[in-house]
Amino acid sequence: MAGQRTSLASLAGKKVEDVPGRDAVTLLTLPLSAVAPTPLNPRTHFGTATELAELASSMRRRQLQPIVVVTRTLYLKHFPEHDRIVGSEQTSYVIAVGERRFRAACAAGHATIEAAIRDEVIATRQDFVDAVLSENLDRKNFDPIEEAHAINLLVQEFGSARAAAAHRDKKESWVSQRRSLLRLAGPIQDLVRTKQMPVEAARSLAKAVKDHQLDAQQQLDWWAAKQLAVASARDTVLAPESEASDAATPPGTHQGTEPRALPDSSTADQKVEPASAPRGGKPRGAVGGTGDKRGQVPHQAAPQRAPGGSPEVTVFSVSTRSPKELAAALAAELSAEDLVALIEELHTHV
């Protein structure tokens, strides 16, 4: 029968009378030598040396939350295979919750640690395993590989993935996805631990390992090919921007050729005098028009219509010109018809 899940960290911080239905909690200050961690905890990374030192410094001022332990004798009744792992006969207690605090205290050279003795959490093997894992799972303290080992341990103790999923109020697929990372070779698991490989990519690789029995080198090759494909896709996405930049370069020009500059802004800002329209409908000064050329930009050749109906626009230097100045210069250079054609052509490049 599945044991009831227990939030040990929250219970340890409460008064005994605030925890109905529980045996009295015994709070003690224990020598560190009397306490041993359980090998059932899949967590391997407890923080950097600096982080542990900061935690130890905080604990030295005041340890607000005691670690939760069970007596070693009761522990070995359920896990006799750990006899030589959980300390010696001088060790009296085994940690259920709080190994990080225990490690910080050891690293800082503390002599003692505050602990809450809760033997009721080891009524069964399942109860204790759930107590060890639940806090880290709920708080997402595990990295993906540690989480996979934790879920796998639950499956082993509860007898099946379905039973473990039901105990955690999850779907069976949730259990299967996380356990799948254990198929990965050691070097690949290290990449997942250090976040050099995304979890989703790792799960895809785990499926390939299952389907094709990939060895460690083949898994590394798979990841290298995946990274190359991602880089290629990124270049493909960025390529249109480069092509658009190339398309904006008029025929006959190349990099290093300076475009012909417009006259100074004082010329472009001059009022353009309207020209009278002769027969044919085009004002004087327009492309194809006759007579007075007033209003055109000096020293600029009037653009000619290219085959297909698009005007060939003279290259302007616009880096130091405002949109208003550029518009005035173009209006002086082109007829209304050519301006419309130019706008249509610009739309194809936006």
**SS3 of the chain: helix, strand, coil, percent, to 5:** 50, 5, 40
Residue 176 to residue 152: CA distance in whole angstroms: 9
Q: How far is the C-alpha of 79 from the C-alpha of 76, rounded, in Å?
A: 5
pLDDT digits (tens, 9 = 90+) for 268-292: 444 444 444 444 444 444 444 444 4
Q: At what angle do helices 49-61 and 99-107 cross, to 10 degrees?
A: 90
As a whole number of angstroms, the distance between CA 291 and CA 277 comes to: 10
What's the confidence (pLDDT) of residue 273? 47
Angle between helices 186-193 and 199-212 (to 10 degrees): 160
Task: Examine the pLDDT at 349 and tell me if it is beyond 90.
Answer: no
Residue 113 contacts residue 67 (beta carbons within 8 Å): yes
75: buried, middle or exposed (CB in 10 Å: 19+, 13-18, 0-12)? Answer: buried
- For the entire predicted model, the pTM comes to 0.55
HEC per residue, 106-117: HHCCCCEEEEEE
Is residue 255 within 8 Å of 322, Cβ to Cβ? no
Q: For 124-169, what is each residue's pLDDT tens digit?
A: 999 999 988 887 787 777 899 999 999 999 999 999 999 999 998 9
CA dist., res. 37 & res. 82, Å (int): 11
CA end-to-end span of the chain, whole Å?
67
Would you kindly state where each structural domain of the chain is located, as residue ranges?
Answer: 1-141, 143-223, 260-273+294-350
Q: Which amino acid is at 165?
A: A
Confidence band, pLDDT 50/70/90 cuts, at residue 324: low
| Residue-wise pLDDT tens digits, 54-103 | 888 877 776 668 899 999 999 999 999 998 888 777 789 999 999 989 98
Q: Mean pLDDT throughout 228-248?
A: 64
What letter would DSSP give residue 262?
P
**Phi and psi torsions of 27, nearest 5°:** -100, 125
**How far is residue 266's CA from residue 263's CA, in Å, rounded to a whole number?**
8
